[in-house]
Amino acid sequence: MAQPKDLEIQYYALLREQSGTSSESVKTVAQTAGDLYQELAQRHGFSLRKDQLRVAVNEEFANWERQLHDNDVVVFIPPVAGG
């Protein structure tokens, strides 16, 4: 079984509203950014699909298959409404 990792998660816009927080620390066995988003979407009831988001890990854009490591900082970036 995979070792749990401690991650810092940051949320913006709709995801911040739906999670009720702008950031949280989580302990997870998720292996990839995609696995992590699926886990958090179930926990918080996120309405956005992965294909509607970008993900960044440690301040660099990443793909959903990006392997996660202990102490990574993960940011889920929803579409931004322009005006």
**Exposure b/e, 18-46, CB count within 10 A at least 16 = b:** bbeeeeeebebebebbbbbbeebbeeeeb
Q: What's the half-sphere exposure (Cβ side, CA atoms, 13 Å) at 13?
A: 13
pLDDT at residue 1, rounded to an integer: 66
Distance in Å from the first CA to the final CA of the chain: 47
Tens-digit pLDDT profile for residues 6-51:
999 999 999 999 999 999 999 999 999 999 999 999 999 999 999 9
Which domains, ranges and CATH numbers included, belong to the chain? 5-77 (3.10.20.30)
Distance CA 73, CA 56 (A): 8
Q: Does pLDDT of 83 surpass 90?
A: no
Helix runs in the chain, H state only: 13-19, 33-44
